[in-house]
Structure formats: C-alpha cells, structure tokens
Chain A
Amino acid sequence: MKTHTCTVSFTLNGEKKTFSTRPDEKLLDLLRREGYKGTKYGCGQGTCGACTVIMDGRAVYACLLYAMQAEGRKVRTIESMGTHDKPAPIQRELVAAGAVQCGYCIPGIIMSATALMEAEKDITDEVAREYMDGNLCRCTGYEKIWTALRRTIANRAAATPAKKTSAKGGKK
C-alpha cells in the first residue's frame, strides 16, 4: 500500500504553519527536519523526555506523537524560550546552579518545567515531581536541576503580589 503524502497545520511557537509530511512521520522528526533541532532525539520510545514539547499547554513526548496528531494544536518547542542574552527564568537558574552538564536532556527539562510553571499556581514538591517524572538526566543526579527548579518557583512566588485581604478581616 502506498504511503500518502499529506499536510499538517498547527501553530508552532506562535506562528501558524503548514508542513508537508507523511502519516507515519513523528512530530519529533518533522520538527527537527524543519530546523527546530533544540528538541532532542533520545530514546525514541517515550521514556527519557529529551524530546518534550508543549502541546496545548501540556508537556508531551514528540517522539511518540505522529505529526498528524498536531493538527490544529498549539505546539511550543525550546526555541520559544529565552535566548542566550535573555534567558527565561528557569534557564537562568539552571545555569546559575551548574545544572547543565552534557545538556542533552535540558531542552526537555525546560519544557516540562515550563508546563509546570504555567499550569500550576501553588507548586509543592509533590506536584513538581509529578510534572518532572518523565525527564531523565544521566549526568547531574538531579540535585542541581531541583535546586534550579525550586529557585525558579520561589522567585516566582516572591514576585507574585500577596492576595489582598478584605477590609472585613481576610475572607478567603
């Protein structure tokens, strides 16, 4: 049976795009073919998290999804995050904590952490562990990554204005 060529349209890092693809092409392969090489190929079977991207606000493995499954969705890759000169808060803290060794897992770690920061308001360690349980790092032993993540969470909490209490005595 002949494999059909098809097109898929989705919003990639804020821009509407249409790509030519094949039904069996994985989203990861399409992204890398189109130059979004910050998203890494690691295990190719949904275990390591190096290929993590954000689709409609949720962290997903690009190596498991067919590109066609992204139709009409909003996909964000590591390229949507900060730059060398203007890193995102989590990127800044990862560097400051010395959490980046070989760096291969870091794009996926950043995307999972970003999904966490954007979806959750009050982030406990338990919630953070839940969001980060699909990303492996073989260099750091995780401690410095956790240091960076906790600092990012703490900085955000400190920057968020405390809820105003009502004049009648702080009704919640």
Chain B
Amino acid sequence: MSILVYAEHDNASIKGATLNTVTAAKAIGGEIHVLVAGQGAQAAADAAARIDGVSKVLLADDAAYGHQLAENVSLLVAELGKGYSHILAPATTNGKNFLPRVAALLDVNQISEITKVVSPDTFERPIYAGNAIATVQSSDSIKVLTVRPTGFDAAAATGGSAAVEGVAISKNAGTSGFVGEALAKSDRPELAGAKIVVSGGRGMQNGDNFKILYALADKLGAAVGASRAAVDAGFVPNDMQVGQTGKVVAPALYVAVGISGAIQHLAGMKDSKVIVAINKDAEAPIFSVADYGIVGDLFDVVPALTALV
C-alpha cells in the first residue's frame, strides 16, 4: 500500500492540518508520499520533506496550481493518484473543494471527514452534525478520504528527511480563473489549530462588543471564534464561525461566551478538552457540555476573567 497525502500550504510553509492528515495516513499504514501542488512552492515542499513519517515529497510547481483552483488541481491529483491505494486531503475548505472531483474522475466514492481509521478500508466519520458516528467500509480500489484534523494528533513537523521529487505535469482545465481574495489578517493564532479558543454568540449583542473577547484572547494567546447566530447577525465575518457548517475545533480550552449551545454549534466544538461556558441563562444547553460554567452577565464576567488570567 502507498498513500498520497495532499499538502495544505501557502507555498512558503505547510499548514497544520497537513500534519494531522499524515497521522491518519500512518494509521492506515504504508509508504506515505506528500504532494505539494502550488506555484513557487519549493519552501513548502522542503518543509513537507521534514515531516516525520513521510518517505517522498512530490512537488508540482506550476502557475495552474498557484491558487489551488479545483478544476486544475483535481486533474493533477487524479492522474498522480492512480498509482496509490489511498488519497488523503485535510478536510479544509480547499480539501473539500477539490477532492470530490478527484474521486469522481477516478470513478470511486469519497469518504468525507474521517475521524478514525479502523482498518485500511474502514473508517469512522460523523454524520447528522456529529449526532451519530458512522463506520463505513469501502471496496473501491483507491480510497479517497478527507481527514478531519481534530480527529488525529499532528505528526511531528521535523525529524524526517524525505527526498523532494519534481512532477512535470501541467494541467490547466482553462475553465476557471482566480479573481482575488480577502483574507482576514490577524496576529492571533488560526482558529482551526489554536490551543485556546474564545467564542462569542448572540449574547455579545453587536460586533463592537467582541473587543472584550479579543482582550481576553490576547491575554490567553487564544483564537477568537463565533456561533452561527453571531455571524448571521453580522457581528463578525463568516470565517470565524465554529459549528457543523463552519469550522470544527478541538482546542485544549474552549470558552463559550453568550452562546446558547445549538446542536449546530456543539458539533463544531464538543471535542474540545475543557469547555467553559459563560451565559446569563442557567438553562442554556451549552452548560450540558461545559466542564465549568458561570451563570452571569458576560459583560461583568469576561473583563473580570481577563484581569485575572
């Protein structure tokens, strides 16, 4: 068996979700090759070569892959992937975007967001917003899987010394083009990989009030998230959403502030190690999953907490 892991990267460095995906590949067992597809991505490929457990890095450096356009990347991965028993990508918005195309091109089913490897052909994945866990077996010749990063520990980013091999396959479907992007710039850690996450919900009342969460987060070195209610109300941008249809996080500490705890939100954070809930409604469902709860006005509790930590 040999496994192809698609690397999530920004051409200069490897994103954390790639490391969790390598761990999933190790659980399957077999030789692990990492594909870095991008433009000017030598540095990312060199970083991938240092990941523990990786035996080879394939670098497809081409303008067609510069913005990770699914139409182009999927053609590359489908061609390269034919020689592998498994093709894995992190379940990031990028992985979710292109990998189903690869599966369709190979005429195999995809298993999305696996959280556990039971055996090389059998995997666990959450369904119904995490309210049920399905164990799924695939008889496809090539298993195509997205990996939920919170389901697996990160592989060590150093210790490996794989060879980097260039791949001269240029695939441009010619049907799509990159126009632009607006990425939030923040000095805080990324939501998906943060050790501590502070999230606000409808109880924050408006976007301006989120500043008390930013103050707490900065003291804790935490990322800031939000419930769907807070995003839908326009308090904060969509990329901060934690939940079934937003980001799934599992930090060591999750602080839910003014969040009632809808199923949709719980699906995105209930695997956190320690959960703290701050809510004025003692009956809020968030308390049923919280290790520590405080019933009180968040506008008193949060500043007091910030002062003490």
Do A and B interact?
no
**Taking beta carbons and an 8 Å cutoff, which residues of B are in contact with A?**
none
**Taking beta carbons and an 8 Å cutoff, which residues of A are in contact with B?**
none
